[in-house]
Structure 1
């Protein structure tokens, strides 16, 4: 009886904490004004089923961060996250530790490669050293980056808006949101570390 009570207590606590944990996973590193504020590309999916807004501070100007963003992609600069995990899914990611001149001329409508089987992402918005937005060709996913610089420190804000509902939304909330935080926090730190190192 005692064991059953403990199990029920743990399960009840987990359920009670789940909304708070989910919010933390969705908004890791972001300040309230960044979570609630608009981002370039929001209008491409006006009412998403899932939204994540994550951010990191970088001790470097936006001009030092931007080159790392525009060269992302498989066969390009990679994703600055756990390459070995990405490559388990056949994404062919190899994160660069240098700025690659060949991939600095990104333009609107260019494709961000996410491996041979990944969803094709096209550049929807590009404002140099400020905003970069990708949209999946099926229109169900928008991934936006915003750079806000103040006193030589840049906030790098990443937002995902995904058009899902029903059981798919539950799956995203329970499984994909924590998993994406694991990968995206590493990506944001990867960009931060590279930009700060090269800016010194």
Structure 2
């Protein structure tokens, strides 16, 4: 069975995995599996893989674009800019953004992975009216026991920017219209220290 992916058709195994006759893996296969995992991890941290991950979906122009909120953390240690085209108008996308957060609409990512990391995240599959009023100064928790994020910019259907209360992380969501669709640019600006730089 195959499922449609972003990059075309990719075969995915469906159903239970079956053991090969003999039923036991040998030390040789375990060693090869461990070596493959180590090689995959090393490749993931290689400069080309890191750049791909930090700029996934974004054009060179979007990566270099100055966004509202960049000034909130002008000299980050880590900068990522990702983008996606959504087949809907900004007015349709905006309500999903303003309800994001732990105990709210979730993060719209892989809940199973976030919960494996102890983040207790549950992404909504509908608009939640009780979380539609978001204003500058409001605090939103992105995950339990993490620094809260303060809303710094809230321009409906255009820009939503958060800054962590410890000043080490800025998260920006910027919407633009591209043809009849919405281009969502997501930018993270982080510093590794615990104190905000001046």
What is the TM-score normalised by the length of structure 2? 0.72
Superposed displacement of residue 63, structure 1:
0.5
Task: Indicate the structure with greater strand content.
Answer: 2
What does the per-residue CA deviation read over 1:90-123, in whole Å, with 9 as the maximum and x for residues that have no partner? 3321111110111000111111112331121110
Quote the RMSD (CA, aligned, Å).
2.1
* 1:90/1:117 contact within 8 Å kept: no
- 1:120, 1:103 → 2: CA distance? 16
**What's the CA shift for 1:31?**
0.7
Choose the corresponding residue for 1:117, options 139, 145, 163.
145
| Kept after mapping to 2: 8 A contact 1:59/1:154 | yes
Superimposed CA distance per residue, residues 28-64 of structure 1 (whole angstroms, 9 cap, x where no aligned partner): 0001110001011111111111100000001111011
Distance in 1 between residues matched to 2:173 and 2:158, nearest whole Å: 8
1:48 aligns with 2:76: yes
Q: Secondary structure at the match of 1:64?
A: helix
Larger radius of gyration: 2
**Farther off after superposition, 51-60 or 88-97:** 88-97
Alignment of 1:1-200 (within 5 A): 18-164=46-192
SS at match of 2:187: strand
Runs of 4+ in 1 over 4 A off after TM superposition: none
Unpaired runs of at least 5, structure 1: 1-6, 166-200
Question: Secondary structure, in 3 states, of the residue corresponding to 1:91?
Answer: coil
CA contact (8 A) 1:91 1:118 kept: no
Q: Which runs of 5+ in 2 are unaligned?
A: 1-34, 194-198
Alignment coverage as a number of residue pairs: 154
Greater RCO (Cα-Cα under 8 Å, separation 6 or more) = 1
Q: Distance in 1 between matches of 2:72 and 2:124?
A: 30
